[in-house]
């Protein structure tokens, strides 16, 4: 089999992306979402440039500076926003400060949106468009971090095209790993003009598999017959069930709308410890200066989570209240 993505399977999967997104796409692959984000941003943002992103976004908080590594040190300019979502107001204010152009400040070149967000919420297509229109006005390209894209898509019920390029997104990092793949992320450019020399950046990062057919095979299986939507739908449904159940338990507060496969909750005293002791697995969800002072927990469901597992968790939580 030809190596480095010159095989037939890789080519057919690239066509599949164009079909699904209803436009000619240029697709590159990466093993992790961090790498995909870093690579995409390095194409949009020069070292002296900057990217606006949410203050608690994955690129800012959880990638050990991957974007800075890939871009050669371009800054992330963080903006606040409730429930993990950027607002047109915050973006406009940020841009107002950095323009008119002044060489003492970094030069904004991109906007990065996370869909679904780190708070488990989802931008509507209109919300995305409101942001990308401002970005375009100032000459910024828009990157979408779509590690949980399919979950957001299922939530909105719109088409992949509507949520991405039709809403003004230039480059999408589309993740399959969180919904079932072994290690498969795709960098999807919607305009070929944005891909100049990207093949060199890509190869230089060490993310081009010699046996790329095994990367392509994951995508083929994932995207075939709507499997991706089915898997994300199951994960979302389980999170909804979980959130609903938790809301009914005294002292539990679900703090964000549950729109994808994550539930953010504060438990009454002792409950988290009790659940962990019984074998549950979840993380503290903390930010510098978070208002819950470290008490917020993130519960994640997946495509293999079952109704029985959710119900057992809820039963256990109720036991904790009673005891």
Taking CB under 8 A as the binding criterion, the range among 122-130, 194-202, 229-237, 259-267 that sits at the site for a second copy is 194-202
The CA distances from residue 212 to 3, 17, 30, 208, 225, in Å, are: 7, 16, 10, 7, 22
Instruction: Give the phi and the psi of residue 277 in degrees, each rounded to 5.
Output: -60, -35
The CA distances from residue 107 to 111, 133, 140, 305, 314, in Å, are: 12, 18, 10, 44, 49
Taking CB under 8 A as the binding criterion, the range among 16-24, 46-54, 127-135, 149-157 that sits at the site for a second copy is 46-54
> How far is residue 20's CA from residue 145's CA, in Å, rounded to a whole number?
18
38 belongs to the binding site for a second copy (CB under 8 A): yes
The residue to which tokens 């305009």 are assigned = 191
> 315: how many CB neighbours lie within 10 A of its CB?
11
The CA distances from residue 123 to 16, 144, 164, 174, in Å, are: 25, 11, 11, 16
Judged by CB under 8 A, which of 206, 226, 250, 322 binds a second copy?
206
6 belongs to the binding site for a second copy (CB under 8 A): no
Judged by CB under 8 A, which of 214, 220, 292, 316 binds a second copy?
214
Of 125 and 280, the one with the shorter C-beta distance to a second copy is 280
Least Å distance, CB 247 to a second copy, is 28
Residues contacting 277, CB < 8 A, separation 6+: none
Judged by CB under 8 A, which of 13, 25, 35, 263 binds a second copy?
35
**Beta strand spans in the chain (E):** 26-30, 49-54, 75-79, 107-114, 141-146, 171-175, 185-189, 253-254, 262-266, 283-284, 296-300
Of 264 and 285, the one with the shorter C-beta distance to a second copy is 285
Judged by CB under 8 A, which of 25, 26, 63, 81 binds a second copy?
63
Taking CB under 8 A as the binding criterion, the range among 128-136, 238-246, 283-291, 310-318 that sits at the site for a second copy is 283-291
Using CB under 8 A as the binding rule, the residues of this chain from 95 to 114 that contact a second copy are 97, 103-107
Residues contacting 148, CB < 8 A, separation 6+: 115, 116, 175, 178, 260, 261
291 belongs to the binding site for a second copy (CB under 8 A): no
Least Å distance, CB 64 to a second copy, is 4
270 belongs to the binding site for a second copy (CB under 8 A): no
Taking CB under 8 A as the binding criterion, the range among 31-39, 118-126, 220-228, 229-237 that sits at the site for a second copy is 31-39
Of 231 and 249, the one with the shorter C-beta distance to a second copy is 231
**What torsion, rounded to 10 degrees, do the Cα atoms 38, 44, 50, 52 define?**
-80
Of 74 and 249, the one with the shorter C-beta distance to a second copy is 74
Query: Which SS3 state, helix, strand or coil, does residue 257 take?
Result: coil
Q: Which letter, b or e, does each residue of 267-290 get, where b requires 16 or more Cβ atoms within 10 Å of its Cβ?
A: beeebbebbeeeebebeebeeeee
209 belongs to the binding site for a second copy (CB under 8 A): yes
Using CB under 8 A as the binding rule, the residues of this chain from 103 to 162 that contact a second copy are 103-107
Of 85 and 213, the one with the shorter C-beta distance to a second copy is 213
Judged by CB under 8 A, which of 9, 18, 20, 69 binds a second copy?
69
Interacting residue ranges for a second copy, rule: CB under 8 A: 4, 30-36, 38, 46-50, 61-66, 68-75, 93-94, 97, 103-107, 177-178, 182-183, 197, 199-211, 214-215, 286-289
């Amino acid at each position: 089999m030809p190596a480095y993505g010159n095989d037939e399977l890789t080519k057919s999967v690239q066509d599949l992306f164009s079909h699904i997104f209803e436009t000619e796409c240029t697709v590159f692959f990466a093993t992790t979402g961090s790498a995909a984000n870093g690579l995409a941003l390095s194409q949009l943002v020069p070292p002296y440039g900057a990217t606006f992103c949410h203050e608690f976004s994955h690129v800012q908080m959880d990638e050990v500076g991957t974007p800075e590594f890939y871009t050669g040190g371009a800054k992330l300019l963080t903006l606040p926003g409730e429930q993990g979502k950027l607002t047109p107001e915050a973006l406009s204010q940020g841009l107002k400060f950095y323009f008119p152009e002044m060489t003492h400040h970094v030069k904004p070149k991109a906007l990065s949106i996370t869909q679904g967000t780190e708070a488990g919420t989802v931008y509507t297509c209109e919300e995305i468009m409101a942001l990308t229109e401002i970005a375009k006005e100032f000459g910024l390209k828009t990157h979408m971090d779509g590690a949980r894209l399919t979950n957001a898509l299922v939530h909105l019920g719109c088409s992949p095209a509507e949520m991405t390029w039709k809403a003004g997104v230039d480059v999408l990092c589309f993740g399959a790993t969180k919904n079932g793949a072994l290690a498969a992320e795709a960098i999807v450019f919607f305009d070929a003009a944005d891909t100049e020399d990207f093949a060199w950046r890509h190869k230089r990062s060490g993310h081009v598999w010699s046996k790329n057919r095994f990367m392509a095979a994951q995508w083929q299986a994932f995207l075939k017959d709507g499997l991706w939507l089915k898997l994300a739908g199951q994960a979302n449904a389980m999170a909804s069930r979980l959130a609903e159940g938790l809301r009914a338990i005294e002292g539990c507060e679900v703090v964000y709308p549950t729109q994808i496969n994550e539930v953010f909750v504060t438990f009454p005293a002792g409950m988290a410890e009790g659940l962990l002791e019984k074998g549950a697995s979840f993380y503290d969800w903390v930010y510098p200066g978070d208002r819950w002072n470290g008490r917020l927990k993130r519960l994640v469901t997946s495509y293999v989570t079952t109704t029985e597992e959710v119900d057992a968790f809820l039963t256990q939580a109720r036991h904790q209240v009673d005891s």
